[in-house]
């Protein structure tokens, strides 16, 4: 399977984003995601859709004993190896669907902004539950259903070019949404809030935290950031595997 991150044009545009140039400090959600990590010293951590590997590096810097970052895109894995290598991190080209999820292997499974590329979350939740140890933590950030149900995932603009409102439609029709991002056609999957949260509960997880990303005050002067307070773009969830 080829994703847009293998498209050279998209890949180059992605490389120019602040979060790609400067890492987690430039990610609007990091101030909310970081406190949701469990203590990682001596722990094993799996990152699903690791991209450049920022979260893998964070885990290793926190003392994680073993970190595996998987991503479908060889280009992204090459970047991860270049920018965020560490003796306790392994990067591997592998799809989230294709990974083997060995039983009781990981203390923590993380996934940042990758799960909305998957059509069906339930089988992934089931496999993540299997691969987590007793009381292991699944921490993820997925595009928010209000965002993925946005028409064309874009604002309606006023005549002066300013965003007027965020249109939502077909909320209860989960599935593929074709959008345009960074000059490319990007295919993502819309999941309702019920599907995401009930999917976790159905598969044995206990919900510990649910948050909707709001950029911090010090980032509000960055282009477009104030508009991030007008509708939620990201949903952050921390769930515990109760076995």
Ligand X SMILES: C[S@@+](CC[C@H](N)C(=O)[O-])C[C@H]1O[C@@H](n2cnc3c(N)ncnc32)[C@H](O)[C@@H]1O
Output the smallest distance, CB 161 to ligand X, in A: 26
**What is the nearest approach in angstroms of ligand X to the Cβ of residue 50?**
5
Q: Which of 188, 199, 206, 215 is nearest to 243 (CA)?
A: 206
Burial class (CB in 10 A: 0-12, 13-18, 19+), 183: exposed
- Select 42 or 74, whichever has its Cβ closest to ligand X: 74
Nearest to 111 by CA among 225, 223, 196, 229: 196
The two structure tokens encoding residue 114: 């990758």
Task: Report the DSSP beta bridge partners of residue 47.
Answer: 69, 110
Shortest distance, position 6 Cβ to ligand X, whole Å:
8
How many angstroms separate the CA atoms of 48 and 97, rounded?
10
Place of tokens 């995401």: 196
For residues 5 and 91, which CB has a smaller minimum distance to ligand X in the complex? 5
Name the residue nearer to ligand X (CB basis): 46 or 50.
50
> Among residues 200 and 233, whose Cβ is nearest to ligand X?
233
CA 75, 80, 81, 83 torsion: positive or negative? positive
Residues that bind ligand X (CB under 6 A): 3, 5, 49-52, 54, 71-73, 76, 95-97, 112-114, 117-118
Torsion of CA 210, 216, 222, 228, to 10 degrees: 40
Least distance from C-beta 124 to ligand X, angstroms?
A: 9
Cα distances from 219 to residues 27, 74, 149, in angstroms, run: 9, 31, 26
Closest CB to ligand X among residues 22, 135: 22
Q: How far is the CB of 63 from ligand X (least distance, A)?
A: 21
Cβ atoms < 10 Å from Cβ of 90? 14
Residue 3 Cβ vs ligand X, minimum distance, rounded to whole Å: 5
Report the candidate in 11, 9, 33, 30 with the shortest Cα–Cα distance to residue 209: 33
Output the six-digit token pair for 168: 């939502």
**In angstroms, what is the minimal distance from the CB of 94 to ligand X?**
7
Pick 12 or 134: Cβ nearer ligand X: 12
With respect to ligand X, which residue has the nearer C-beta, 116 or 240? 116
């Amino acid at each position: 399977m080829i994703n847009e991150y293998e498209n050279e044009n998209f890949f180059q545009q992605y490389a120019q984003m602040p979060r790609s140039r400067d890492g987690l400090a430039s990610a609007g959600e990091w101030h909310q995601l970081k406190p949701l990590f469990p203590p990682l010293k001596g722990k094993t951590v799996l990152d699903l859709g690791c991209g450049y590997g920022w979260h893998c590096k964070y885990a290793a810097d926190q003392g994680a004993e073993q970190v595996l970052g998987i991503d479908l895109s060889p280009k992204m894995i090459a970047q991860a190896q270049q920018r965020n290598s560490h003796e306790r991190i392994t990067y591997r080209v592998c799809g989230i669907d294709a990974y083997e999820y060995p039983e009781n292997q990981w203390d923590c499974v993380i996934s940042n902004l990758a799960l909305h590329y998957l059509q069906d979350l339930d089988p992934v939740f089931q496999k993540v539950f299997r691969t987590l140890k007793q009381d292991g933590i699944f921490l993820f950030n997925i595009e928010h259903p209000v965002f993925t149900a946005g028409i064309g995932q874009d604002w309606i603009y006023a005549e002066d070019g300013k965003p007027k409102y965020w249109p939502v439609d077909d909320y209860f029709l989960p599935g593929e949404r074709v959008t345009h991002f960074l000059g490319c056609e990007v295919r993502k999957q819309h999941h309702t809030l019920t599907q995401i949260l009930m999917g976790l509960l159905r598969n044995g997880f206990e919900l510990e935290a649910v948050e909707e990303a709001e950029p911090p005050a010090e980032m509000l002067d960055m282009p477009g950031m104030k508009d991030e307070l007008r509708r939620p773009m990201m949903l952050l969830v921390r769930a515990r595997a109760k076995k």
